[in-house]
Amino acid sequence: MTAVVAQESQLSLAGALNRALADALAADPTVLVFGEDVGALGGVFRVTDGLAARFGEQRVFDTPLAESGIVGTAIGMAMNGLRPVVEMQFDAFAYPAFEQITSHLAKLRNRTRGRVELPVVIRVPYGGGIGGVEHHCDSSEAYYTHTPGLRVVTPGTPDDAYRLLRDAIDSPDPVIFLEPKRRYWAKGPLSDERIGFDRAVVRRAGRDVTLIAYGPMVATALETAEAATEEGWDVEVVDLRSLAPFDDETVCASVVKTGRAVVVHEASGFGGYGAEVVARVTERCFHHLHAPVLRVTGFDIPYPPPKLEEHHLPSVDRILDAIGRLQWDDEVVGSCGA
């Protein structure tokens, strides 16, 4: 039986992350939280609100504006038995630390033939939809998923935010924890059921087409699925949750059932994470597909100004249009009641 962690049941995604950090700090004295403004301020998005006052400045503390130094310090701490959880404040702010992440954090365990574990969690608020500008609204998942040695996860709900972050902190391997900032204030219930780090989940069952989404696009995909019923399409929604490693089993089971798939993400399409998903689905499900696997993504441009981002980000209408461009013969459409 699943225990309920938060009976108030309407905790926000940011609140769920705060709860996860607090529970991890309370459960394990080797857990530390640090980054820019995470101490007294409680973080730009208040994810670390109250943690410094509760656990002290030795375990929750501010750092200089030096992302490479933050990650380098975390690597040294992890090598000496601690479990650092660091915040990058905004997605593109992590790029100065990219060399530390790809050259050292991702490789040290393999370089030492498994003798040195690096239990480091790097929390990265990512994506758009908050009226920010470039450097504050990147979707950088492809950089990390292309780097062997890193686990990359992203929650789409408060419940997953809590459970995935607890699992990330417990992991012996480095984890890039991507937080969809536009969903920080989405509310929902929490449970302490562990879900496994590598598993996708079917958020909505359907029989005609599979929408494959993650992070901020999960809610948009579910909204699209509801709108699609008016067009006669019964849409299944798969939330990847773990971008690396990838859950081929859950995704392919859905696509084999429906025969059609659309991958949705905020990042640019060219060379994006969706291209990898399309390739994997095509390689494994080719003989079950009724139409090519399509993508709905952000455009291949730097992140636009706030007044234009609603046109850049995948919308319900754009996803519905992609579903409509799949090959629908009269027999199938008729069976959907259209």
Q: What is the mean pLDDT of the chain?
A: 93
Contact 123, 90 (CB under 8 A): no
| pLDDT band of 191, cuts 50, 70, 90 | confident
Does the pLDDT value for residue 4 go beyond 70? no
The per-residue pLDDT for range 237-287, each reduced to its tens digit, is 999 999 999 999 999 999 999 999 999 999 999 999 999 999 999 999 999
Give pLDDT, residue 329. 77
What is the DSSP secondary structure assignment for residue 115, as one 8-state letter? S
Angstrom CA distances, 10 to 4, 188, 189, 201, 269, stand at 12, 5, 6, 21, 34
- 104, 135, 136, 311: the active-site residue: 136
- H helices of 112-203, in order, are 141-145, 158-170
Can you tell me the distance from the alpha carbon of 158 to that of 139, in angstroms, rounded to the nearest whole number? 20
Q: Identify the CA nearest to 217 among candidates 133, 318, 136.
A: 318
User: For residue 331, what is the enclosing H or E element?
Assistant: helix 330-335
Q: Please state the pTM of the whole predicted model.
A: 0.94
Contact 11, 157 (CB under 8 A): no
DSSP one-letter string for 64-107: -S-HHHHHHHHHHHHHTT-EEEEE-SSGGGGGGGHHIIIIIITT
Does the pLDDT value for residue 1 go beyond 50? no
The per-residue pLDDT for range 152-176, each reduced to its tens digit, is 999 999 999 999 999 999 999 999 9
The average pLDDT across 23-48 equals 97
Rounded to the nearest 10 degrees, the angle between the axes of helix 158-170 and helix 13-27 is: 30
Note the residue count of the chain: 338
Q: In the chain, what's the furthest Cα-to-Cα distance?
A: 66
Q: Which numeric CATH code is attached to 13-188?
A: 3.40.50.970
Q: Which numeric CATH code is attached to 201-325?
A: 3.40.50.920
Q: Which part of the chain has CATH 3.40.50.970?
A: 13-188
Give pLDDT, residue 335. 46
Q: Is 136 a catalytic residue?
A: yes
Tokens describing residue 54:
């509760």
Q: Which part of the chain has CATH 3.40.50.920?
A: 201-325
Give pLDDT, residue 135. 86
* Residue 29 preceded by cis peptide, ω within 30: no
